């Protein structure tokens, strides 16, 4: 999981709305009720799309530069950033049961000390994978 930046094309629509699409990512598009909402929605759909690619092992295309993308009159191009690790933390919190083995003496000492095994493992894994 990583941080990404991709250019998005914003197209003004009726009543202040915007359509947004990412030329580098097939099927990655959204819209918003106003510019602020469109930017928020663009970040969300970008993270959703790239997180899906990461999980499925699909190839993630390189991001174009703004100068490589053409916009029609009235459209504009803006970079959108996302963090798929943050997206995963927000949207994929389902608990997963893991079975593990530790020495009996360590189990006894940790139990006596009131250690929360699940919390300790989560904290250690977060540190180990640099999140």
Q: How many CB atoms lie within 10 A of CB 23?
A: 19
Nearest Cα residue to 11 out of 81, 74, 70:
74
Q: Which two tokens stand for residue 70?
A: 């053409």
- Do residues 108 and 74 share a domain? no
**Are residues 74 and 128 located together in one domain of the fold?**
no
For the stretch 27-86, pLDDT in tens is 999 999 999 999 999 999 999 999 999 999 999 999 999 999 999 999 999 999 999 999
Residues 6+ apart with CB under 8 A from 17: 31, 32, 33, 34, 38
Domain extent for 57: 3-91
Instruction: Say yes or no: 107 and 74 in one domain.
Output: no
* Residues in contact with 57: Cβ distance below 8 Å, sequence separation at least 6, in sequence order: none
Same domain? For 48 and 111 the reply is no
Q: Are residues 77 and 117 in the same domain?
A: no
Structural domain tally of the chain?
2
Report the distance separating Cα 121 and Cα 1, nearest Å.
20
User: Which tens digits make up the pLDDT trace of 74-127?
Assistant: 999 999 999 999 998 888 777 788 888 999 999 999 999 999 998 999 889 889
pTM score over 0.85:
no
- Return d(Cα 12, Cα 18) in angstroms, integer: 5
């Amino acid at each position: 999981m990583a941080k990404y930046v991709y250019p998005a094309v914003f197209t003004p629509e009726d009543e202040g709305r915007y359509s947004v699409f990412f030329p580098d990512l097939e099927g990655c598009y959204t819209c918003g009720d106003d510019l602020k909402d469109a930017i928020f929605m663009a970040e969300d759909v970008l993270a959703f799309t790239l997180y899906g690619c990461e999980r499925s092992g699909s190839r993630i295309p390189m991001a174009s530069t703004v100068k490589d993308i053409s916009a029609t009159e009235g459209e504009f191009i803006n970079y959108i950033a996302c963090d798929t690790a943050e997206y995963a933390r927000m949207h994929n919190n389902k608990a997963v049961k893991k079975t593990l083995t530790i020495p009996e003496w360590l189990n006894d000492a940790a139990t006596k000390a009131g250690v929360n095994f699940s919390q300790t493992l989560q904290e250690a894994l977060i540190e180990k994978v640099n999140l």
